[in-house]
Every structure is written in structure tokens, then in C-alpha cells.
Amino acid sequence: MGAKPGWFARRGMRGRITDVKTPILHIAVPSPLQRAFDYRAPPACNPAGLQPGVRLRVPFGRGERVGVLLELRDRSEVPAGKLKAAHALLDDAPLLPPDVLALVQWASRYYRYPIGEALATALPVLLRRGHKGRIAGVKEWRLTEAGRTVDAAQLRRAPRQLALLQQLRRHPAGLPREALEATAATLRALADKGWVEEGERPCLEAIPAEPEPAPLLNPGQAAAVAAVRAGMGGYGAYLLEGVTGSGKTEVYMQLIAACLEQGRQALVLVPEIGLTPQLVARFRGRFREPLAVLHSGLNDRERLCAWQSAAAGEAAVVIGTRSAVFTPLPRLGLVLVDEEHDASLKQQEGFRYSARDLAVWRAHRVGVPAVLGSATPSLESLHNVNLGRYRRLHLPERTGSARPPRVGLLDIRRQPLDSPLAPALQAAMERHLEAGGQVLLFLNRRGFAPTLLCHECGWLADCPRCDAHMTLHQRAGRLRCHHCGHERALPPQCPACGSPDLLALGRGTERIEDYLAARFPDQETIRIDRDTTRRKGALEAQLARATEGQARILVGTQMLAKGHHFPQVSLVAILDADQGLFSNDFRAPERLAQLIVQVAGRAGRADRAGEVLIQTHHPEHPLLLQLVLQGYGAFAEAALAERQAAGYPPFASLALLRAEASGREVALAFLEKARDAALALGPGGVQCWGPVPAPMERRAGRYRAQLLLQAPERGALQQLLDPWVLQLEQLKGARKVRWSLDVDPVDTF
Ligand code: ADP
Ligand code: ZN
Ligand code: ZN
């Protein structure tokens, strides 16, 4: 996209530039305002040669920012005399290609997020800050030849050096400095011995010398691959539905292989990569072309490295979390979204986009297939199948000899309170352990207990900043708020009455772990949750121990539930299914059903018969019964009918305006004005609900409230949002609250 001819036509005639119609640069600059800004070209830069997608340094307010050129215009609303010149051009060629630029612009409008900020979100941090040029690699520490063969006993007296040596042995490819669990002195000591060295790992990953052969597909898989292959070269959206272990990943890989054969790149989006190292390893081992991985655990250089190799067309497969949907891919041929139902594909703060929906948009724009996969598809995607927008590809059964697990509900009413596991569950555990199986216990609550209670006076350990209890973390000796991060030491006695009689109420994973140590003292147990996996590499190490089967009992939160393949797990127990049964969020039943099915899917994946036990106080609850007796498909059908009756998505479109302020009234008053503004605009089919206080009204010391807009279809809602959002910026009180608009919210908290 060059400049329009004619812009410089008069230059030759007069020989002066000033009164010639010089194109104006329309630049997206990070700022809270819902618009882009006009500039003149930087000195000594021919604006006609500029292409959208290049970055420029521009003066902004009293400082300077990095913006992205959106387009050249022939006029500006800013008077010529006031138009500032950009300071410098940062790129010779567009950093963002037209399809990504269009994607971000569309998303910025659809989600009502300022274009400058949206583009900043789409770029790796270093580029956002103005970094120029390619980088060749990232610096990493690794063992030297001598370090690899040294006898660990030599470091008996230097436990820290030994720990570092062992950490690097677990990561033969090397680790960046900040991932090393060592002080500078420890590192130096090992370097002086010649056992560790710093080297540069090239950005482009090595490809396996001998890629894994692909298995022969079963008929269901073959049909799925054939359907998408036939549509390659054009847009098409597919929902690949198959229970855990039915071979979806294998379908992805063979589709990618087909895409690579055509000389094109594949983009794979996953909810949380840290949680799926096995998936990445499988992909890495399969292809003869390099892979790039993009996720939040990378440091800035690592991220830029991977991004650049994708943008240069060198990495043929890009696997990443949400923001990877914005990666430039000059030869994009296929878009895959794994676990498409997962809420973490929607960004929950700032630029609140749905990476899944944007992935489909991008595939449509570029004209390539989009394949969304899940064992438990979202109701949105099922609805799209019903409407004929997506084509359903079904993998009906597990591969090989794996059979579906038996699922049972365990009534835990009137059960002794001191045991978190029903007698029937304990018996089942013994049975499975004796037969050589592994047991996985799922509880979506980390810490020791959800709160602490004074037996004497009833005092509860509440967070001073939130409407929430603080969680007891026994090992750390702390009370922590899981909502705002506030923490304090565990009080030795009740802060209100001085009684030492403090009771831990309820249970978290830490407490289950203690219970297991007493109940099954001979079995190695491993706990996987955010507390045990904070260090870089810790999750991988824990998962390795779980996969290899050393640990016989696995207990954990949703980190354990997603995507992993534990071949020896034969019994899965959900310790508390009741958590999600009575939420007032209309999506809670869907989330609970997905979670239960996903967790259950960890059982009996290989040749062991699996068993799933669900502990509940509500064994007659229709949702649980339906799931257990009829499965996810029947549940989803019923849930869709309910949504339709209630006028909820996917049969309606929602936008949630959230506001928070230092006082309750301030937040509510702002939202009331916002509602009145919407009503005054003549909302045309859009209904306003509220404002009401948020389900957890006070969080981190601020009061939160929300206003819900509901429309029977997207168009009506978007039409109202256009003028409304501009008015919101101007509303009286807008500066006293922090507000944000969430289009297509995935939760209403
Ligand atoms: P999903 O992604 O649906 O959970 P996977 O693709 O991981 O399923 O497949 C489950 C297991 O079955 C994996 O160990 C995989 O290697 C194996 N598998 C998948 N497809 C086949 C096939 N056609 N032949 C043999 N093994 C297969
Ligand atoms: Zn007390
Ligand atoms: Zn708090």
C-alpha cells in the first residue's frame, strides 16, 4: 500500500514542499483514548514511501511514545500549524503485515479498546519499546562437557552449587540467567570450576534429527483430516470434538504436516502453555521444520526471538497462548485452537479479546481453515455448528484399547468431617494402587484451608481489603488472600479475643496432601498447584515425576486437569463437585461440566480401565446426574435450550461495564449515568440490567459494580456501543472510577 499518486504531483512545479499536499501520518499511539493521532513525517523521511505497519517514535504529551502507522491521509482535523512531526521512523518495512493490522483494528473496535494500546498488546515488549533489528539468539547458561560428567559427590559440601548443577542437568538445552536458582556467587563458583558456561541459543529451534513417525489414523481421525485437507486453500471453520484420548492432537499434527507440505505456516493456539509441556514436546518431535513457542513464561528476548522467527517465515509452526493470535505469519495456511472452550483464551483484563474468536476471524480474512478442538466444546461453538457456520468433526472413541472410564457419584452427606475422602473412595484408591495404577485427586482450591475460625468467639480471618476470607497456608505459616495478594503471618491466637483455639475450616490441596501422608504413608504423593510450581521449570519437573509414575498419588488443582497425559492413572476423584453447582454466573454449569469431564478424562488413558469418582453433597443434582448418565453432549444440548429460554449467549450478545472506585456510591453513580446515557441513545433492542454491586463487591480495597447490556444480536449491541463508549469517557464522574467494558464477557464477576 503506497501513497496515492498525485500527492507529490505539484512538488516539481514549485520545488517547495510546504504548500504541497503532503500525506499525513495516521498513527496508533498507546493512550487511553479511543482514537489514533495525526503527525507529519519525521524530518528527512519521504512520507509517500511509508507503509502501514511501520513503527515511529512520536512526541506525545510531554514525552515520546512508539506508535504504529495505520494509514496515510490527505487531510487532518488538526490545523496544519499544530501538526507535530514524528521524531523517527523505526522500521524500513512494515513490522505488522496487513492481515495482522486489520485484525488488531477490527478487535480494537469490536472490544472497544484503544487502538494504540491494542497494537501495543499485539507486539512483543521489546518492539513496543522501540527495539530495532533482528536478534540472533538468547543468552543461556548450560553445563560444559566437564560439568555434565562431574560426580555430584564432589559437591557434597556445596549444596547450592550442587542444586544448580542438578537444575541444569534437568535442562540440558540451557536456562536463561533469571531462571537459575542460584546467586551470582554460586554461579561464579561453578563457572570457575569450568562446569557451567554461558552461550547463545539461536532463536530458531533445532529440528529433530529423526522426527517421530506418524501413526496410521483410525477412520474417525482420517475422516477429520480429509475434511479439512479438502478445504485447505480456502476459509472454513471446523469443530473437532472428541473425548480426551480420542486422538485430536494426532489430527492437529497431521493437518499441520499437510499445511507444511504446501509450504505454509501453521498457527496453534492453546490456553496455557506452561500447563502443556507434553503437547509442545510432541509437536517438537514430529516435524522436519522449526517450531516457535510463544507464551507468558518467556523473557522479553526469548519472546522477541520466537516472534521474529515466525514473522520472518522461518518458524513453520507457531504454538502459543492468546496473544500469539497476533503473530505475523507471512505464509499462514492453517489455524488451530486447542481446548477452544477454555476461558483463558479470553483475555480478562485490558484488551479483553477472545483469542479463539480472533483466530477464526483471521482465518477467514486470510482464507485458510480454522479448526477448533475440544473434548467439551463451548456452547458458542456448538451453536455455530447448529447454525451451519462451523462443520462438526467427531472422533467418537478413544484410540487403541483405551476404554471410557466408569463414572460414579459418591454421596458424602453425613460423612465423618475429619476425613476428606469418603470410605468408598479410600477403598477404591487401595484397589487401584494395589493393581499398580496411579490415583489423581482433584480439588480446585490451593492452600491448607479456605479460612481460619476462632472457636471461642467466631472471628474469621477475613481479608481487610476484600469481601473474602483469607486462605490458610500452613506450610508457609501465612494467611493469604487469593484475590488481592494481601498476606500476614498466621496469628498464634485469635486477634479478637486472644483464644488459642483457632480452627482451619474446610480443605485445600495442602491439607489433602497432609491427610494422604498419614493415610497412605507408603505411597509417594505429589501436589501440583500454583504454590508448588512457582519456580521456572518446577511444573515440568513435577509433571515428569507424575508421568514416570514415581509418585503414585497426584493431588492438585486445575493445573492437573488440563491436557496432561498420565498413562498410569486409573482412578480419578473429584473431591468437591459442589463448588460450581450454586454460582449465580450463568456459565457456571457449563464450566463445571467441562471441568468434570476434563478431569475425568485423565483416567484410564492407556490400557488400564479407568474409574472416576465424584464426591458431592448433592448426588441428586440434575446436572451431575445428566453428566454421569448421559455425558457431555446431552448436558450441552439441555444447557443450550436453557440459554435460549433465558435469552443468554449464544442466543444473545452481552457487554459488561465494570466500574470500581474508592466508595460504593461512586461506582454505582457512574454506572447509573452510563445506563441513562444508553437509554437516551435509544438502545434499539438492547436491555440494560443494573447497575448492581459485583458478586464480590470489595476487592483490593475498592468497591466494584457492574452494568450488563444484553441484546438479541451482536449488531444491535455494537451499534449502541459506538456512540456510548465515546460518551462514557465524557461522563461526569468518569475520572473518579476505573471502568472497563467487556464485550462477550466469559464471566460476570
Ligand atoms: P487427544 O488429543 O484427543 O487427547 P491424542 O492425540 O493425544 O488424543 O491421542 C491419545 C493417545 O493415542 C496418544 O498417546 C496418541 O499418541 C495415541 N494415538 C492417537 N492417534 C493414534 C492412532 N491413529 N494410532 C495409534 N495411536 C494413536
Ligand atoms: Zn476469638
Ligand atoms: Zn484480599
Mean pLDDT of 512-517: 94
Closest CA to 656 of 601, 695, 620: 695
The enclosing H or E element of 624 equals helix 622-630
Nine-digit cell at 234?
A: 480456502
pLDDT > 60? residue 5:
no
Question: What is the Cα–Cα distance from 115 to 36, expressed in whole angstroms?
Answer: 7
Ligand 1 pocket residue status of 278, Cβ below 6 Å: no
Return the ligand number nearest the Cα of 224: 1
Question: What is the Cα–Cα distance from 1 to 634, expressed in whole angstroms?
Answer: 51
pLDDT > 70? residue 334:
yes
Measured CA to CA in angstroms, residue 480 lies from 466, 469, 556, 697 at distances of 12, 9, 18, 19
Which of 16-25, 39-48, 193-202, 460-469 bottoms out in mean pLDDT, i.e. has the lowest?
A: 16-25
Question: What is the Cα–Cα distance from 333 to 344, expressed in whole angstroms?
Answer: 25
pLDDT tens sequence across 94-138: 999 999 999 999 999 999 999 999 999 999 999 999 999 888 788
| DSSP secondary structure code for residue 392 in this structure | E
Looking at every residue in the chain, the average pLDDT score rounds to 89
pLDDT > 70? residue 608:
no
Which of 39-48, 362-371, 579-588 bottoms out in mean pLDDT, i.e. has the lowest?
A: 579-588
pLDDT tens sequence across 376-420: 999 999 999 999 999 999 998 776 666 677 889 999 888 776 789
Question: What is the Cα–Cα distance from 646 to 657, expressed in whole angstroms?
Answer: 20
Question: Left, alpha or beta for 207 (phi > 0: left; psi -120 to 50: alpha)?
Answer: beta
pLDDT band at 27 (very low <50, low <70, confident <90, very high): very high
CA of 500 to the centre of ligand 2 (A): 8
pLDDT > 50? residue 15:
no
Mean pLDDT of 705-721: 92
Measured CA to CA in angstroms, residue 558 lies from 272, 375, 529, 590, 599 at distances of 11, 16, 8, 16, 8
Give the burial class of 664: count Cβ atoms within 10 A of its Cβ; 0-12 exposed, 13-18 middle, 19 or more buried: middle
pLDDT > 60? residue 8:
no
Mean pLDDT of 253-265: 96
Mean pLDDT of 717-746: 90
- Percentage with pLDDT > 70 across the chain: 95
Strands of 289-424 (E only): list them.
Answer: 291-294, 317-320, 332-337, 369-374, 391-395, 406-411
Strands of 462-531 (E only): list them.
Answer: 471-473, 478-480, 487-489, 502-505, 525-528
pLDDT tens sequence across 140-159: 888 888 888 888 778 888 88
| DSSP secondary structure code for residue 150 in this structure | -
pLDDT > 70? residue 10:
no
Question: What is the Cα–Cα distance from 157 to 748, expressed in whole angstroms?
Answer: 55
Ligand 1 pocket residue status of 248, Cβ below 6 Å: yes
Closest CA to 406 of 630, 616, 610, 561: 610
Mean pLDDT of 299-310: 92
CA of 533 to the centre of ligand 3 (A): 22
pLDDT band at 1 (very low <50, low <70, confident <90, very high): very low
In this prediction the pTM is: 0.89
Mean pLDDT of 669-698: 91
- Amino acid (one-letter) located at 183: T
Distance, first Cα to last Cα, the chain: 44
CA of 546 to the centre of ligand 1 (A): 19
Question: What is the Cα–Cα distance from 34 to 38, expressed in whole angstroms?
Answer: 14
To test the pocket of ligand 1, the residue of 217, 249, 341 to mutate (highest count of ligand atoms within 8 Å of its CB) is 249
Q: What angle do CA 565, 571, 572 make, to 5 degrees?
A: 75
Ligand 1 pocket residue status of 247, Cβ below 6 Å: yes
* Residue 217: partners with Cβ closer than 8 Å, 6 or more residues away: 225, 247, 250, 251, 254
In the chain, DSSP finds a helix count (H) and a strand count (E) of 22, 29
Mean pLDDT of 180-208: 84
pLDDT > 70? residue 6:
no
Mean pLDDT of 503-526: 94
* CB of 675 closer than 8 Å to CB of 441: no
pLDDT of residue 12: 40
pLDDT of residue 583: 79
- Biggest alpha carbon distance in the chain? 95
Return the ligand number nearest the Cα of 701: 3
Nine-digit cell at 117?
A: 494500546
pLDDT band at 18 (very low <50, low <70, confident <90, very high): very low
The enclosing H or E element of 37 equals strand 37-39
Nine-digit cell at 336?
A: 488451530
Mean pLDDT of 320-326: 95
pLDDT > 60? residue 7:
no
Mean pLDDT of 284-300: 89
CA of 631 to the centre of ligand 2 (A): 47
Nine-digit cell at 118?
A: 491494542
